Structure 1
Amino acid sequence: MKKQTKLKKRSWLGILIKLVLFGALLVLLFIGSIYLEVWGKIPSKTELSDLKQAEASLILDRNEDLLGKYFVFDRSIIEFKDIPKYLVNGLVATEDARFYEHEGIDYKSFFRVFFKSVLLQDDSAGGGSTITQQLAKNLYGRKNHGLFSMPVNKISEMIIASRIEAIYDKDDIIALYLNTVPFSENTFGIESAAQRFFNTTTSNLSLSEASTLVGSLKANHSYNPRLFPERSQFRRDVVLQQMEKYGYIDEATRLKESNTPIEIDYHKFTYNEGLAPYFREQVRKQVSQVLDSINSADDTEYDLYTDGLKITTTLDNTMQEYAEQGMISHMERLQTQFENAYGAHAPWLKNDELIQEVVQKLPEYKRLQAKKLSEAQIMDSLRKKSKKPLFTYEGDTIMSISTIDSLKHYLKFLNAGFVAIEPQTGAVRAYVGGVNFEHFKYDHISMGKRQVGSTFKPFVYTAALESGLEPCAYFSVKEITYTDEEGWTPSNASDGEDDPYMNYSLETALSRSINTIAVKVLEQVGIQPVIDQARKMGVVSDLPEVPSLALGTAELSLMELTSAYTSYVNESVPSRPYFIEKIEDKDGRVLYGYKPSTPLDAAYSEQTRETMIEFMKATINEGTAKRIRSTYGLSNDMAGKTGTTQDNRDGWFMSITPNLVMGSWVGNDDHRIGFSSTGIGQGANSALPIVANFVSRLNNNNDFNSITQAKFKTPSDDVLEALDCDPDKRDGFFKRLFGKKKKEKAFGE
């Protein structure tokens, strides 16, 4: 009996041994099948030795501070030398304590995970992956193999990890890992994470900040320091405890850091958000053109979104912040003023013809129309409510609203543009193309053209001076009806200019923006000479050959107009605006460098230039732009010109300082919707405050003293003598009694 029992035990033992051997054989065969790439390709050592990851291209301002990025994956590559030692220590202590002891695979952790997680289905076993295995996962991702997904992927990563360790040293592996690992909010790599959450570089991360980012690797959403600060701080403290446990920091350091709250400085680099989105879009277009040219000429394949290019621009980040702040703070107040002035009779509410015309341009309307729906059916569909995000100055909000009501909501918004150009070079220092890029993509600096109103008058007066007209030439303010222009009678916006016997000098007429005199000056000089003068100043848009040109019926872009004004402080030569200083590849090789094109010829004489500056200084000091002094208290040396178009549709303000020329425009994108009154819509009220807010902020920053404290050169004695006259004079008694009574004439008569 005992003998039979022993035989049975031996039999079961033999079966068990065979089963174990068979199981081991199956495991070896399984591992071998993975190694032989039955389950999919595994990168070779040759491929691993030439790792190339998609890397975000960086947009830098003039001081090489980060402005934004272009990317498929938000990743910026850094070298090991730029990684603080405590960041490396925190990573090793938390993610792979035996990192410097193994060669890519920590077998102790592996077998723990294999038996507990794979065989026993125990989720508490942990991941068991080394930093090198995690790097393999970051580089090549994981594939779906059904029930075999976990073992196939784990073993694949082990094979890749072993090959990586055979090629790279530990420092390189740490750098590769930190450059590829995903952090919170789909941010790849430590450099991008440092920029996004702490507005700094990896090398400047503090111990607390580094520990916070390392801690987020365990679950990058759950430990997002922006969304879950308390949870993130708890996880940071765990990282600090691990660092103390493995001797990287002492207890005193841990306690000090643990008692410090996390302070993020969040900067999101996305297409719609962040600093200067309109400018970044213009740069994107220009860089794409440059790269296309380089790739075509050199047979290269540079890609803006994946090759880690460095694009240094002309923009100044601080000036851009001031410009955006100055615009939004003013536009929010102006929007309220605009809506209150219309009240319940606003055109976006009551003008059915306007609303219907805009509705019919909607893509949704055209889609429904293509389905052969009737007009009534289309309108019923567009009146159905659904939840939509809506722009407001208080922040975006979600509302249940119909497509038509959403259209009315956006139709009411005023928009704006602001640009600041360094006149001596053409470098664009600030660029705000609209009030909100996400909701209003249209760029009001470079894309849009609107009637420029009285900002065109300096071209008329410049041409007049060039033709030999004296600065102290006087013109009557009296209205004239031009019979050959369909009885057109230009009038003045101000009731104070209605004395028909008053005569003004050119300086006074321009500073007060007197329409009747501007037309008379144009008449005396001639339309074609004025157009020729504008062309010399860089204006390329169509200019109507009509008397109303003097009042700014021409349509120009804000960039075009501002560029022309740079000539007044650039030795009479208009500068050509540019955006990009240079483009470098990720290794620092310069692919493109800005080279100034041959400058244009001087558009007018130095005497005319000095005289025009004096004319436009008077506009600021005592004319239509005097709010710069009276309301905003700015004492800067400044010249300028306001502009308001017909029916108060557009407000303009052009401002000149010795080292910066600024232009601003305000209006509704639908030109049929103007301001309800000149008091609100005039350039001095609608556009001037944007410039004033910007300059006020510059004045408070000593870094910009070269701009804010710059002075115009004293005019020559000849110019001062030519300007030495009374600003106005009234016709004497006998001239009033016996002077011409004619109030009608043909233009040019």
Structure 2
Amino acid sequence: MATKKQTKKTKPTQDFSKYVRWFWILFSVGILSIATLFLLASWGMFGEMPDHTVLENPKTNLATEIISSDSKTLGKFYFNDNRTPVSYDELPKHLVDALIATEDARFEEHSGIDARGTLRAVIKLGSGGGASTISQQLAKQLFHGEGSKNILERVLQKAKEWIIAIRLERQYTKEEIIAQYFNIYDFLNNADGIRSAARIYFGKEPNDLDLKESAMLVGMFKNSSLFNPRRRAELTRERRNVVLAQMAKYGYIEEAVKDSLQQTELDLNYSPESHREGIATYFRGYLDGFMKDWINNNPKPDGTKYNLYNDGLKVYTTIDSRMQQYAEDAVQAHMPRLQAEFFNQNTPKRNPTAPFLELTSGAIDTLMRKSIKKSERWRHMKYDLKKPDEEIKASFYKAIPMSIFAWKDGKPSEIDTIMKPIDSMRYYKSFLRTGMMSMDPQTGHVKAWVGGINYRHFQYDMVGQGKRQVGSTFKPFVYATAIDQLHLSPCDELPDTPFCIEKGKYGNPEEWCPKNSGDEYGGVRTLKEALANSVNTVTARLMDKVGPQTVVDLARKLGIESEIPPVPSIALGTADLSVYEMVGAYATFANKGVYTKPVLVTAIEDKNGTVLYQFKPETRDVLSEEAAYVTVKLLEGVTQGGSGIRLRHGGATSAAYKKVVTGYPYKFENAIAGKTGTTQNQSDGWFMGMVPNLVTGVWVGAEDRSVHFKTIDYGQGATMALPIWGIYMKSCYADETLSISKEEFEAPLELSINVDCSKASDKNIIDDSVDELPDDLEF
């Protein structure tokens, strides 16, 4: 009989084999699915993938960079992307360290995908931070952006991102990936890429960034819209401190350094880069037209056109950034003072038609109606919006919010106000404008170009576009013609008595009898004295001796292309010419009679550094070296004892002048040749000044010729324009790196004409009779 123990059944062991089998089936399917997913993605089944060629040359919009002669960036041409790439070597070490510590601590160890980071992100469902490497983030920036929020599409996108990241790692070195990532990112406020960001937020090149500046910019990688230092400074500061903490965590900086820097402010030096701001704005506006013409005439090898805004061209210019800044500073130093006095003289009580003088209310209404149809507002509403004329006209008489220009504390500023557009137009007509250009006479290189007082509000360029009566600055062309044709000396004398050129001579429609300023006459004058004091009668006599056509012919050879009628009155500057033309012409005298066409662009390169354009100088012989030198000696007399004498003693010859230029003593002792110019009713003030290696022209006036100073004290070129030249040259001389000449003008080896009137034994009184100019043109 079996025992109880023997009859008890044994409990069977549980079988797990099927679970293990299913686990491995599911695991294998998962792995196979993932592999298939990546394989299909790499084949482009989920959207186009970049091939080897595209990876080698990823498409990014690159701004065209404008580079000065001293290797500074003057500005850029771009539509949406203000991007100029830099190499890895141009990035400071702490900037790279900050990026790696914050975004991808194992960047040097992985090959595009951080397995540890990915596993952590999966386990913690993203709560422990993302797993994207720098390479993955670069892939996203370069080829597919943020993508959809749909989970399936995000998975597919992530697969593509991983594949591209791995390919990037194979294609590029780690350093190249870092550089590309910094170059591609949008830091907002037109700061596309690290170079623009460093310049816009801190006014520096990337290599000059300090540690805390680098940390702020790296902090923006998380979300530049959220961590925008201009809008959310404190939030951006907190993010910067996170970056500093990460750098300390991974041993890139000491704890004490972190603690110290975390207490500091952002210390932005916001320097916006836009087409209407920054340095050399008027020059950049001119260059825009130059480049478009060049692009139209110089296609790529494949026949397509270069894109000024996307192709990353480099335009090397002759502008010197230091001299450009000095020129802009000189305009800003003088013009607010001059403008303040103009406003003082043109209050409604003193001048009911302010800012216009000598115009009836009817004439003013006519002028304003014409101005309306020339305005940008009219053009936009009529041609862009297709509005009827009556609606457009009515809009000029409805008050709207606007920002208007004003000088405040000697600086340009804006006032937010509500004003009728017609009233704002009249307001702007009261502002005096300026044009200034500076050029090396030997090379033709234009060193500075200031086309106005503020590009944002006054975009018309008074150097390259504007043309105004040149007044007495034209007289040297008459004198140079006489010297060249008649071999005259500065010591030769002519009568300073009333003179007329009869009707019909030189095709003159009326008898021409120019008057001296103030109707003052004085026996006889040497040519040097006559030019120094802008004596009209002597100039008219010289015109009668050489004839207007001969003077026009010389002006043409001097590079003046504007129309100059061959009539006697041009002797006193009735022609409308540009500052650009006048500087090029005067430079011929300083360059020993050789005209050199002004040069603005020396070379153009593509983004790879291939030279696409290199300038060829254009020169021609115009005057003999002797005639040019004698003309220069005549012009030196203007600053030795004529209207330019103010440059010598630095004081003022009238209370009015002192009021405008107090605080700007010049006291130049070196050789300076120059000429002032003042046109009818003081509408235009000019000064042309030369030293052996620099010629500079300055014009000052209002938009309309009926807007001007009432008296010659304020309205002459010596008060309106000469101070700008003086302030500019003081700055240029103070900067010894520029090597602006203080030497004498070089005399020809053989000089047959006497230029030293103190040693003239027998002064030659030239016997003849001459005439004057219209009564409405006094100088």
Aligned to 1:553: 574
Q: Distance in 1 between matches of 2:421 and 2:32?
A: 63
Give the letter for the 1:596 counterpart: P
Q: Distance in 1 between matches of 2:300 and 2:89?
A: 36
Query: In the superposition, relative to structure 1, how do residues 383 and 160 fare at CA in structure 2: closer, same or farther (>3 Å)?
Result: same
> How far is the alpha carbon of 1:428 from its aligned partner?
0.5
Give the letter for the 2:139 counterpart: A
Aligned to 2:654: none
- 2:50 paired residue among 21, 39, 43: 43
Q: Distance in 2 between matches of 1:33 and 1:210?
A: 40
Query: In the superposition, relative to structure 1, how do residues 316 and 227 fare at CA in structure 2: closer, same or farther (>3 Å)?
Result: farther
Aligned to 2:552: 531
Structure 1 position 422 matched with structure 2 position 440: yes
SS of residue in 2 equivalent to 1:690 = helix
SS of residue in 2 equivalent to 1:628 = helix
Q: Deviations over 1:113-153 (max 9, x none)?
A: 56877xxxx9x665442212211221124365464464454
Structure 1 position 278 matched with structure 2 position 295: no
Q: Does the CA-based 8 Å contact 1:365-1:378 persist in structure 2?
A: yes
Structure 1 position 317 matched with structure 2 position 321: yes
Q: Does the CA-based 8 Å contact 1:390-1:399 persist in structure 2?
A: yes
> How far is the alpha carbon of 1:429 from its aligned partner?
0.7
Is 278-287 or 223-232 further displaced after alignment?
A: 223-232
Higher helix share: 1
Structure-1-length-normalised TM-score: 0.85
Give the letter for the 2:724 counterpart: I
Q: Does the CA-based 8 Å contact 1:273-1:437 persist in structure 2?
A: yes
Q: Distance in 2 between matches of 1:669 and 1:456?
A: 21
Aligned to 2:61: 54
Aligned to 2:253: 249
Q: Does the CA-based 8 Å contact 2:299-2:306 persist in structure 1?
A: yes
Query: In the superposition, relative to structure 1, how do residues 48 and 323 fare at CA in structure 2: closer, same or farther (>3 Å)?
Result: same
Q: Distance in 1 between matches of 2:273 and 2:366?
A: 41
> How far is the alpha carbon of 1:665 from its aligned partner?
0.8
Aligned to 1:332: 336
Q: Distance in 2 between matches of 1:175 and 1:452?
A: 53
Q: Gapped runs of 5+ residues in structure 1? A: 1-9, 731-738
Q: Alpha carbon RMSD of aligned pairs, Å?
A: 3.7
> How far is the alpha carbon of 1:372 from its aligned partner?
8.4
Query: In the superposition, relative to structure 1, how do residues 205 and 675 fare at CA in structure 2: closer, same or farther (>3 Å)?
Result: same
SS of residue in 1 equivalent to 2:277 = coil
Aligned to 1:268: 272
> How far is the alpha carbon of 1:302 from its aligned partner?
4.0
Give the letter for the 1:620 counterpart: T
Query: In the superposition, relative to structure 1, how do residues 727 and 708 fare at CA in structure 2: closer, same or farther (>3 Å)?
Result: farther
Q: Distance in 2 between matches of 1:265 and 1:313?
A: 26
Structure 1 position 191 matched with structure 2 position 213: no
Q: How many residues align?
A: 713
Aligned to 1:178: 182
Q: Gapped runs of 5+ residues in structure 2? A: 1-15, 504-508, 651-665, 775-779
Q: Distance in 2 between matches of 1:568 and 1:741?
A: 26
Query: In the superposition, relative to structure 1, how do residues 720 and 176 fare at CA in structure 2: closer, same or farther (>3 Å)?
Result: closer
Query: In the superposition, relative to structure 1, how do residues 713 and 381 fare at CA in structure 2: closer, same or farther (>3 Å)?
Result: closer
Q: Distance in 2 between matches of 1:372 and 1:425?
A: 51
Aligned to 1:676: 710
Aligned to 1:342: 346
Q: Deviations over 1:183-216 (max 9, x none)?
A: 2424222222223333333333332332222122
Q: Deviations over 1:474-506 (max 9, x none)?
A: 33333345562545442222x3x624x522111
Q: Distance in 2 between matches of 1:128 and 1:528?
A: 81
Q: Distance in 2 between matches of 1:46 and 1:297?
A: 19
> How far is the alpha carbon of 1:741 from its aligned partner?
14
> How far is the alpha carbon of 1:386 from its aligned partner?
1.6
Q: Distance in 2 between matches of 1:215 and 1:420?
A: 44
Q: Does the CA-based 8 Å contact 1:184-1:216 persist in structure 2?
A: no
Structure 1 position 69 matched with structure 2 position 89: no
Give the letter for the 1:651 counterpart: G
Q: Does the CA-based 8 Å contact 2:317-2:600 persist in structure 1?
A: yes
Percent pairwise identity: 37
Structure 1 position 606 matched with structure 2 position 625: yes
SS of residue in 2 equivalent to 1:295 = coil
- 2:472 paired residue among 454, 464, 468: 454
Structure 1 position 359 matched with structure 2 position 372: yes
Aligned to 1:131: 134
Q: Distance in 1 between matches of 2:318 and 2:113?
A: 49
> How far is the alpha carbon of 1:743 from its aligned partner?
11
Q: Does the CA-based 8 Å contact 1:483-1:744 persist in structure 2?
A: no
Query: In the superposition, relative to structure 1, how do residues 227 and 639 fare at CA in structure 2: closer, same or farther (>3 Å)?
Result: farther
> How far is the alpha carbon of 1:413 from its aligned partner?
1.9
Structure-2-length-normalised TM-score: 0.82
SS of residue in 2 equivalent to 1:97 = coil
SS of residue in 2 equivalent to 1:185 = coil
Q: Does the CA-based 8 Å contact 1:538-1:560 persist in structure 2?
A: yes
Aligned to 1:398: 416
- 1:720 paired residue among 739, 755, 759: 755
Give the letter for the 1:420 counterpart: S
Aligned to 1:733: none
SS of residue in 1 equivalent to 2:326 = helix
Is 149-158 or 305-314 further displaced after alignment?
A: 149-158
Is 610-619 or 219-228 further displaced after alignment?
A: 219-228
Is 401-410 or 627-636 further displaced after alignment?
A: 627-636
Structure 1 position 710 matched with structure 2 position 743: yes
Q: Distance in 2 between matches of 1:177 and 1:52?
A: 14
Q: Does the CA-based 8 Å contact 1:145-1:152 persist in structure 2?
A: no
Q: Deviations over 1:267-293 (max 9, x none)?
A: 433211111122223333333444444
SS of residue in 1 equivalent to 2:696 = strand
Give the letter for the 1:81 counterpart: D
Q: Deviations over 1:312-333 (max 9, x none)?
A: 2111100000000101221122
Aligned to 1:386: 400
Query: In the superposition, relative to structure 1, how do residues 368 and 226 fare at CA in structure 2: closer, same or farther (>3 Å)?
Result: closer
Q: Does the CA-based 8 Å contact 2:687-2:698 persist in structure 1?
A: yes
